[in-house]
Amino acid sequence: MTGTLLLCRAEVERLLTPDLCIVAIEDAFRRLSGGGLPPPGILGMHAGDGSFHVKAGFLTLDRPYFAAKLNANFPGNGMRHGLPTIQGAVILSDAANGTPLAVMDSIGITALRTAAASAVAAKYLAREACDTALLVGCGGQAPAQLRALLRVRKPRRVLAYDRDIELAKTFASDLSVTAVADLDAAVAESDLIITCTTAREFIIRRDRVRPGTFIAAVGADSEHKQEIDPALMATAKVVTDLTEQAASIGDLHHAIAAGAMTRDAVHAELAEVVAGRKPGRTSADEIIVFDSTGTGLQDVAAAIAVYREAVRECAGTHFHFSARRAA
């Protein structure tokens, strides 16, 4: 088969299982720590009520690959237009010759690779014994986060909070978890927290987080979004997916702007922890925050996994960007 593969959202989500994605993302972080990979790139531009960003990265497995993801992020889409908050596409290319290998929907890629990164972080940074997990934000990212988390930790109970309580109730009913209306109380009784919101002011307060808690802060992927109290960032062990990026658009950005911490106070990037170059959790009582801004490395790793599965199953539609000239 020749040409470029076209893969819709349903195909991406069918092919990229949580287990497959977690393995791909963990391996990508390990390879990043080994050196030899250019740092992932990002470009962001604002547009009216939303924004666009391009994230790109290289990864060499059986051959060198390059992927670029263009995402539109419009938080008001659901209420105003009945559209997803995030829409876009990923282009995967052979980095040896530039051939476009696949064009695929980015919604599934973004949700699944982000959830897989949280799961990898939890594997290395959360306590093995987890009594209560809390999901904050019950939008499109939340189901993937929960499914990935349950691959690496087995909490006795899972709580779900959203400022839209009806959304939290629907999410809880669909996935057999417990909806809660009091965020501060839920934070205080949880030892593993995943935040995936569009908040523009911090919602996780330092004085509510108990010792030993692990927090995967997923929502802050632009300089205007924030979930974690700068005072909490300052007192926690902070691990980033990419420190330079987190210092520009993540919760780390807000902690630095508030004067609560400096970039040098970051404990490690997740790649360093996965590769064993820096320690993860060293005591049961330390609070650890994973500042997850999402990187092009994660996108290319997930896209490769999807592409390989599609080739193996002969899935997708083949097309050529330009027709061959007649002889």
**What tokens appear for 224 in the block?**
């205007």
| Displacement of CA 320 from its chain's centroid (Å) | 31
Q: Give the separation between CA 232 and CA 177, rounded to whole angstroms.
A: 27
Annotated catalytic residue within 69, 123, 225, 237: 69
43 φ, ψ to 5°? -135, 130
143 φ, ψ to 5°? -60, -40
Is 227 within 8 Å of 206 (Cβ atoms)?
no
Q: Give the separation between CA 301 and CA 40, rounded to whole angstroms.
A: 12
Whether 55 is a known active-site residue: answer: no
User: How many Å is the maximal CA-CA distance in the chain?
Assistant: 73
**What tokens appear for 293 in the block?**
């801004």
**What tokens appear for 5 in the block?**
């593969």
Residue 35, CA atoms < 13 Å, CB-side half-sphere: 1
Query: What end-to-end distance do the CA atoms of the chain give, in Å?
Result: 21
Q: How many CB atoms lie within 10 A of CB 68?
A: 19
Is 134 within 8 Å of 154 (Cβ atoms)?
no
**What tokens appear for 139 in the block?**
């939008």
- If DSSP codes are grouped into helix, strand and coil, which group holds residue 288? strand
Looking at this protein, which amino acid is placed at residue 282?
T
Catalytic residues, by residue number, are 69
